[in-house]
Amino acid sequence: MLLVRPIRVSDLPALEHFAEASGVGVTSLPNDRERLYERIQRSNSSFASDIASQGEEIYVFVLERDGEVLGTASIVASAGFDEPFYNYRNETLVHASPSLKVNNKIHALTMCHDLTGQTQLGGFHVLPEVMAGDGARLLSRARLMFIASHRARFSDRLIAELLGQCDDNLQSPFWDAIGRRFFNLDYAAAEHLVATKSKTFVAELMPTYPIYVPLLPDAAQQVMGQVHPDAEVPFAILADEGFEADNYIDIFDGGAVLTARARDVRSISKSRVFSVGIDNVHPEGSATWLVSSERCVDFRSGLLQAGIRDNTLWITPDAAEALQVVAGDKVRAIEFQGEGRDAA
């Protein structure tokens, strides 16, 4: 079965492969072995921590099938914990002259760190053969189930930066129109700095005054709030969950920044906690469920056939072994219907 679990040190070679394959722009997967190893160690410490509040933790998950790692995704408990988390905020500025009877509303971008401290979903990458199937949806949503089970560790608002548009030569129209004029660096070099160092240099060099969108080249305007083809599936999954992309964009490539209140996210608000029952025979009306254990360090989440009877979720012995649960344990579950929205 497809299973999501916390990352291990032994997964480092797979994580290196994902970092290399994810390419420019996915700064939460730096193509640097030492930094990836540090990320795994930090994740292990986060899962093992006995905390009751949101902090600097990072939780990294992997998707596996029969021991083969097929993808990875992460949660950053507090975006920008050590430094401000920068984005452009979409704004409308009004320029009016009563004497000339002119009243113009102009779209502008203002650099801000409104989203600093919010819980960030990131580091999402799966093998191409998995992207179009249920595995990608399981991996993305398992993080939300984990948040639902450990609410004190995360903020009330969730965010996700998605990869923006760039061409085959790794040129970003948005970056070329703004960032390159202040950094004298191409898009790939700027993203590498962010991935391996920090975003603090952004505040030092980028303009802090509003940028009037109508003054930008058409190519830059057209990619604002858009996502790279590689990010279309993750975008669709989060949109189905209730995330929206109206107010913010990425400062480098102009990609969409999704936001949602945790209480409005489908896998958080509609999932329920059940006791586990184990039987080789499912109750009548069994269906496919997304099921997650309620543990932290031994968290497991998977898609499996299950049925409900007397507020008990009945699963097979093999499924119980995969989730590392026994009869009477608590699990969180929501009925899964594949592509599109699940049952209410």
So which residues are the catalytic ones? 228
State the Cα angle at 300 between 295 and 301, rounded to 5°: 120
Tell me if 282 sits within 8 A of 307, measured CB to CB.
Answer: yes
Tell me if 122 sits within 8 A of 85, measured CB to CB.
Answer: no
Strand, coil or helix: what is 298?
A: coil
Tell me if 287 sits within 8 A of 335, measured CB to CB.
Answer: yes
The two structure tokens encoding residue 28: 């939460």
Per-residue burial over 144-176, b = 16 or more CB atoms within 10 Å of its CB, e = otherwise: bbbbbbbeebbbeebbbbbbbbbeeeeebbbbb
Contacts of 297 by beta carbon, 8 Å cutoff, 6+ apart: 6, 47, 48
How long a stretch of residues is the chain?
344
Strand, coil or helix: what is 222?
A: helix
Question: What are the start-end ranges of the E strands in 84-221?
Answer: 87-97, 102-112, 119-126, 157-161, 211-212
